[in-house]
Amino acid sequence: MEKQAIANAWTGISSCENCGIRHLALFADLEHDDFELIHKPITEISKRQGESLYSEGDEGEFLYTVRSGVIKLTQYLPDGAQRIVRLLRTGDVAGLETLVNPTYEHYATILRDAELCQIPREVVERLNKETPRIHTQLLSRWHTAVQRADEWLTELSTGSSKSRVARLVIGLSDEKDHSCHLFSREDLGAILGVTTETTSRIIAEFKREGSLKDMGKNHFWADLDRLQSIANEN
């Protein structure tokens, strides 16, 4: 076993011990001795908006913990249309499916500049076998992913287009200062399963009525109370 690999994983490049989001991350419950089981280093990587993290069907060599930024998981329909099936943010894990399937099941693309921890799949598999703490974390991650999928289906796939856009805007807004950074109209449409034109029309309507105030560069101030009223409409 390479001591440098252990050092890298625990206190080196990826700085797991002092990680600012460790309480949210996959290795939250691991103790120092657990890292003796790591035989390949965990590294931090940066990805810019628009870059691909992996594609559907690629060999799943790594899992990724999101330290910052936003990643979209996309699947393509038989007619070539795309549907964004989930958004990953700080603390989420990309590529969990590779623990039961050797390949990735989505196209993972960076929506906002991201910092990620790249974890070799073999590391997670070994920890899963030899320490119950990582097994508990993995079960928790699977449960969270299922909950998110259920919420996605309920919140963003039912009701009128206008109410769905309102729910999405609320979900992307900061409750404290009401700031909201939206994605491209194409991406918003792919999340909601509506056309780009429909999304653009509704966002323009929200701006006219004061539900959104344009702060520039897809940055808005959101009237969350007004948007919630719209979201509750059928």
Of 87, 93, 149, 148, the C-alpha closest to 121 is 93
CA distance 21 to 229: 34
Q: Are residues 144 and 189 in the same domain?
A: no
Contact 109, 52 (CB under 8 A): yes
CA distance 104 to 158: 28
Of 96, 5, 91, 100, the C-alpha closest to 43 is 5
- DSSP state letter for 144: H
Q: What is the pLDDT of residues 82-139, one digit of tens each?
A: 889 889 988 888 999 998 989 999 999 999 899 998 988 988 888 888 887 777 878 8
Higher pLDDT residue, 7 or 40? Answer: 40
Q: Are residues 85 and 32 in the same domain?
A: yes
Q: Are residues 131 and 81 in the same domain?
A: yes
Query: Looking at 155, 174, 189, which one is the last position of a domain?
Result: 155
Q: Residue 5: pLDDT band by 50, 70, 90 thresholds?
A: very low
The reported pLDDT for the residue numbered 149 is 80
CATH of the domain at 189: 1.10.10.10
Residue 2 clears pLDDT 50, i.e. is over it: no
Query: Looking at 138, 155, 172, which one is the last position of a domain?
Result: 155
The reported pLDDT for the residue numbered 36 is 65
Contact 72, 109 (CB under 8 A): yes
Q: What is the pLDDT of residues 196-208, one digit of tens each?
A: 999 999 999 999 9
Residue 57 clears pLDDT 80, i.e. is over it: yes
Q: Are residues 59 and 162 in the same domain?
A: no
Residue 56 clears pLDDT 90, i.e. is over it: yes
The structure's pTM equals 0.79
Q: List the single range of 6-10, 69-73, 181-185, 223-227 with lowest mean pLDDT.
A: 6-10
Q: Which two tokens stand for residue 15?
A: 């700085």
Q: Residue 1: pLDDT band by 50, 70, 90 thresholds?
A: very low
Q: Which two tokens stand for residue 97?
A: 């499916």
Q: What is the pLDDT of residues 17-37, one digit of tens each?
A: 556 555 556 766 666 666 666
Structural domain span for residue 176: 158-231
The reported pLDDT for the residue numbered 200 is 95
CATH of the domain at 78: 2.60.120.10
Q: Are residues 136 and 70 in the same domain?
A: yes
Query: Looking at 155, 174, 206, which one is the last position of a domain?
Result: 155
Overall domain count for the chain: 2
Q: Are residues 59 and 114 in the same domain?
A: yes
Q: Are residues 94 and 163 in the same domain?
A: no
Q: Are residues 107 and 164 in the same domain?
A: no
The reported pLDDT for the residue numbered 8 is 45
Q: Are residues 61 and 102 in the same domain?
A: yes
Residue keyed to tokens 């038989």: 78
Q: Are residues 83 and 119 in the same domain?
A: yes
Q: Are residues 142 and 164 in the same domain?
A: no
CA distance 82 to 231: 24
